[in-house]
Structure 1
Amino acid sequence: MSDRQVALVTGTSGGIGLHTAVGLAAAGLRVVATMRDPGRADELRAAAGEAGVTLEVRALDVTDEAQATALVGELGRVDVLVNNAGRGSVATLEQLSTDDLRAQLEVNYVGVAVLTRLVLPGMRAAGRGRIVTVTSVGGAVGQPFADAYCGAKFAVEGLMQSLAPVVARFGIDVSIVEPGAVASEFVSNVAGDPAGRGPDDPYAELLAAYLRRAAGSFANAQPAPDAARTVVEAAVTATPRFRWQTSDGAQAFAGLSLADLDGSRVLGATTTWLA
């Protein structure tokens, strides 16, 4: 068996996940790159070929516990887990069904928790491991019309921050990576955009203001390869830490909340987004 570390990366059909998988392979790891539909792996394979690296593409829907269990069992060893797969949502609470809320939690929280739980026994037995979860600045700062998304990202950050000191006793390092706006297919994959609800929607004007601001943010978004470099660094660094941001802008934005003991800084900033 190869002595190369095995990295399992989720959500690799595009964006941060794609470039993270290629970057980890370039760093010398054996990369198992997963996505719901391996038929969408052409871009990943092309990027790997251009970088002169090889990786394995496997099917994985992170909400399918049986599939995740089978994959981890088949691999037998996972040294690095990168939880990158995610799903967005644009809607305020009154516009969200209970199914919408559950869908966000299933992908962004429960799926991450299940896959992390599956790799922990092997990491404990080995006395080492690295778990990196791509969250968002929305995991630190609640934002208008991101109620379900930010709720799920807050939850997964709480999970990982609680887990970190416990598994550290077994040689396992846990990190989260918080990107800001990133140029990727994530934007087009956002679910639940209620923009077409009509003129009687009491939230229509506020949503329009928010979407105008969001369009400006994503027009100046960080390139996905740049964001992925931070994820790769978090996965391979000899000096791991818990919290990483992928850009100066993400660091400043996350800092709004992390130093906001009474909540006024965040609400003071995000209220202006709806003007």
Structure 2
Amino acid sequence: AINYEENVFFYAYNRNNTDGSLVTKDVADFEAAGWRADRDTKIIIHGFGNNIRSQIFLTLVPALLANGDYNVIGVDWGKLCPQPWYIEARSRVGPVGKQVASLVDFLVNNGLLQSKNLHVLGHSLGAHVSGNVGKHVTTGDIARITGMDPAMPLFLILKGDRLHKNDATLVDVVHTCSGLVGLGDKLGDLDFYPNGGSHPQPGCGLDLLGTCSHSRSYELMGESAFEKNGFPAELCDSKDDATRGACEDSNATANMGVNLRYQKSGPYYLKTASSSPYDLVAHEVAQRGA
């Protein structure tokens, strides 16, 4: 049997500790890392074949800390999801989520965290791990879970442990590689489909394996941290309606990303630029500046 406790690692970051410190379920570790109980907390969970040194953390940790004075935790379960062993990694999503949930419960029970200030962000298989954190916490509902291109393989039929909108008070999802490696289904309260949500995303070329489009989800999330009103999207029933400009309630908009703003739940569509900055307005400003 796998000892999950010994194979899931936690790193704590904040504005005074941008390199991160390895922490365990020990209050002293969190104090040494510069943790503060009065901050909002973000937990980032990587996907298949990644670990704490992967691009998702290099992108999201600095972006989040630029956006707010947060506690950030990076979850490293890389030893349990190495390539090419996808089927094994897939089977570990529930237990890894349970490990993270027990850390959350520890923090809440020790007065270091309030569930209402917690936002969990997961990419690929990590999006489903995030859902399982929400399913397994015992100290109160997580405020928000953001799924970044939740993985599709083996989640179409086996739905019990995949990300679900009941896993947190608010669940928002960004789909960028639907149908290839990502799951296009509506999974959250809000589901965002940049450029239709499928691959290849603009600027990704042929992207035969979908790698570029799949990682675009966290690139967009990272950039959204720098935009207070970035990535405006339109509530729309389908990709076809969005393409035709035939969305029924065209007044219903939402801003995708870290600084999520919305009035209504539902599926949202938007276009992005093909290179960074991806937000269309920010891109135009940058082009003019150049």
For the criterion TM > 0.5, the same-fold answer is no
TM-score range for the pair, normalised by the shorter chain length: 0.3 to 0.5
TM-score (ref. length: structure 1): 0.42
TM-score with structure 2 length normalisation? 0.40
Answer 1 or 2: which has greater strand percent. Answer: 2
Higher relative contact order (CA 8 A, sep 6+): 1
